[in-house]
Amino acid sequence: KKETKKRPTLITDVNSVEGNICLVDELKNIFEVAITSAYPDLKDPPVVITLSGNNPKFGDYQCNSAMAISQMLKANNVKTNPREVANNILNKTPTSPFIERIEVAGAGFLNIYINKMIAEHILNCILRFGVKPPPVKKEKVVVDFSAPNIAKEMHVGHLRSTIIGESICRVLEFLGHDVLRINHLGDWGTQFGMLIAHLQDQFPDYKTHSPPISDLQAFYKESKKRFDTDEEFKKRAYACVVALQAGQPDYIAAWKLICEVSRQEFQKIYDRLDISIIDRGESFYNERMHVVVKQLKDGGFLENDEGRLIMWGDPDKHDSIPLTVVKSDGGYTYDTSDMATIKQRVEEEKADRFVYVTDAGQATHFVVIEACARRAGILKGDQRMEHVGFGVVLGEDKKKFKTRSGDTIKLIKLLDEGLKRALDKLVEKGRDKVLTPEELKRAQEAIAYGCIKYADLSHNRVNDYVFSFDKMLDDKGNTAVYLLYALTRIRSIARTAQISEEQLQAEVEKSGFKFDHEAEWKLGKVLLRFPEIILKVSSDLYLHSLCEYLYEISSAFTEFYDKCYCIEKDKEGKIVKIIYERLMLCEITARVMEKCLFLLGIKTVSKM
Ligand code: ARG
């Protein structure tokens, strides 16, 4: 029986088009209709739409399906060639308000010329209503990110997770998804036994006086040392774990205290980087772990392996590694907690998508967790579990990021250095003489934190990346500083012309935006791709495409601004002519850039 795929509905009414339309998707729909009506018997013909590149004689977009379809037809013994196929597709292409004309070129390319009127309409929508997200089916998404471990260092890996996770949340929230931002803190486990035992010795009155533990790392190291060398202490540490797990109030209080001290340290980082996240550490799943272990036991999913209980993702193919669900001493593991976690997120949060942002080293862990969760029926159907993995942070010597003395780098110190360097940069440019102290401080923070975030996000996250303040603070090239400067410059154009936002808005209402120069069209086409980029990022969670897009906007803007003047001045510098359409294009550019920077978690400033 022939399966009939539903044909996409095409847009025919220009007035139904809004500023958030994804142009390339509409083109795909149009050519899907064209191709299926030209070749109704062909199964799943490819519909390939790409940008045409820089030469205007190849149109704005291209449909490159003809070559592949010609091959498919030849395989079915139909005699044809790509040019003929292209012409057949062309003949079947429905008229659309999006397309001005189509040409068959070269070996069978279909060059598509976008209708400038609809492009103007879309850009006018952005001027009137702002930068709006493309419509999507709304989902509930749990984003598990940051997740440092209590009483241990929050290291540069956690910094990456924090920066990437925050940005993913912003993108998904912008699209209207219901996002639960979860900090899966490492706040449970046997290490708390030794921490509590050490706390009891060092600060016997910890219940009435909050202990002044300023350096929890040192505290951790001391207790670890005692644990490793002192048998008596080790025994007590184990007893503390038992008491803690049994929920004895004193021990719970001591545990909470230690968590609190750590958490305050983490919060300093979150405040500076403008991160919002809800704490829900491993301890939250304490009871739930018993429940999920019982479920897995009852389901017959667990195997005894020399005393420990393990679970395979695929019981017939033992090619990956199994989960350790229960250790031989009866204790639970990181695996157990993540099984309880996924169950909670599916059943209690009723989420559709589960995102985990951790270093790439944990990729296998999440693959196996997903396989086991599916096997046990905890994760079902189209519920999506995704591991957003990232590479390690390297120093400029391409080795693991360390201080000169070989210690791990304290994050707060790193942020402080960023602040210092950002200020140096501003002073070097003499900005301290132009800006007010408040403006200077705002610029300094925007640059420092912005550059750290952007350097991270602009690299493909799966790769290792080299942390270099010199590179990230360079104001040429694809950096936050460059983009922030570009944005302030764009914002200053209307200010120089002494045109207020209200005046510009009045012009929008009166005549609206229209294209004139070729460089305007080039910039306009880049701006029109915003919905496409956002959809792509929200699906593959690779934020560097958003950074590349920002850089592309700013390059297209530079070209436009070189070729097209927005205001004309006479010899005395008096403004004699204002080209409002171009100021409008500046406004749209600034708005799209601001939105992108916001989604990357980067604060913008009006002056720097
Ligand atoms: N605390 C872990 C670490 O530092 C990350 C936890 C990630 N989340 C999870 N559900 N496993 O590596």
Contact status, residue 458 vs residue 544, Cβ threshold 8 Å? yes
Q: How far is the CA of 397 from the centre of ligand 1 (A)?
A: 28
From CA 268, how far away is CA 508, in angstroms rounded? Answer: 44
- Please classify residue 101 by burial: count the beta carbons closer than 10 Å to its beta carbon, then call 0-12 exposed, 13-18 middle and 19+ buried: exposed
pLDDT (average), residues 105-114: 95
| ipTM higher than the 0.90 cut | yes
Q: How far is the CA of 25 from the centre of ligand 1 (A)?
A: 37
Is the pLDDT at 1 greater than 50? The verdict is no
pLDDT at residue 563, as a whole number = 97
Q: Which amino acid is at 161?
A: S
Q: How far is the CA of 186 from the centre of ligand 1 (A)?
A: 7
Residue range 155-188, pLDDT digits in tens: 899 999 999 999 999 999 999 999 999 999 999 9
pLDDT at residue 4, as a whole number = 62
Q: Ligand 1 pocket test: pick from 344, 362, 408 the residue with the most ligand atoms within 8 Å of its Cβ.
A: 362
Atom of ligand 1 nearest to the CA of 362: 12
User: Integer distance in angstroms from the first to the last C-alpha of the chain?
Assistant: 66
The closest residue, in CA terms, to atom 8 on ligand 1 is: 184
Contact status, residue 183 vs residue 262, Cβ threshold 8 Å? no
pLDDT at residue 42, as a whole number = 94
State the DSSP H helix or E strand holding residue 416, giving kind and residue range, or none if neither: helix 411-428
Whole-prediction pTM = 0.95
Percent of the chain with pLDDT over 90: 87
Atom of ligand 1 nearest to the CA of 366: 11
Q: How far is the CA of 147 from the centre of ligand 1 (A)?
A: 5
Q: How far is the CA of 361 from the centre of ligand 1 (A)?
A: 11
Q: How far is the CA of 156 from the centre of ligand 1 (A)?
A: 14
Atom of ligand 1 nearest to the CA of 359: 12
Is the pLDDT at 595 greater than 60? The verdict is yes
Greatest CA separation for the chain: 90
Q: Ligand 1 site: residues with CB under 6 angstroms?
A: 144, 147, 149, 184, 186, 338, 341, 356, 358
Q: How far is the CA of 480 from the centre of ligand 1 (A)?
A: 29
Q: Which among 332, 334, 354, 343 is positioned nearest to 292, based on CA atoms?
A: 343
Output the CA torsion 449→452→458→464 (10° steps): -150
- Give the pLDDT band of residue 391 (cuts 50, 70, 90): very high
- Give the pLDDT band of residue 55 (cuts 50, 70, 90): confident
From CA 185, how far away is CA 284, in angstroms rounded? Answer: 10
Atom of ligand 1 nearest to the CA of 341: 10
Residue range 119-152, pLDDT digits in tens: 999 999 999 999 999 999 999 999 999 999 998 8
From CA 587, how far away is CA 508, in angstroms rounded? Answer: 11
pLDDT at residue 215, as a whole number = 77
Q: Which of 61-70, 257-266, 348-357, 429-438 has the lowest mean pLDDT?
A: 257-266
Is the pLDDT at 388 greater than 70? The verdict is yes
pLDDT (average), residues 459-487: 95
The DSSP bridge partners found for residue 112 are 61, 102
The closest residue, in CA terms, to atom 11 on ligand 1 is: 338
Q: Ligand 1 pocket test: pick from 158, 184, 266 the residue with the most ligand atoms within 8 Å of its Cβ.
A: 184
Q: Which amino acid is at 370?
A: E
Atom of ligand 1 nearest to the CA of 144: 8
Contact status, residue 567 vs residue 577, Cβ threshold 8 Å? yes
pLDDT at residue 5, as a whole number = 66
Contact status, residue 357 vs residue 144, Cβ threshold 8 Å? yes
The closest residue, in CA terms, to atom 6 on ligand 1 is: 147
- Give the pLDDT band of residue 2 (cuts 50, 70, 90): low
Q: Which among 499, 502, 516 is positioned nearest to 120, based on CA atoms?
A: 516
Q: How far is the CA of 341 from the centre of ligand 1 (A)?
A: 11
Residue range 527-548, pLDDT digits in tens: 999 999 999 999 999 999 999 9
From CA 255, how far away is CA 262, in angstroms rounded? Answer: 11
Contact status, residue 10 vs residue 30, Cβ threshold 8 Å? yes
The closest residue, in CA terms, to atom 4 on ligand 1 is: 148
- Both structure tokens of 168: 């993913």
Residue range 304-339, pLDDT digits in tens: 999 999 999 998 888 789 999 999 999 999 999 999
State the DSSP H helix or E strand holding residue 104, giving kind and residue range, or none if neither: strand 99-105
| Cα 440 versus chain centre, distance | 29
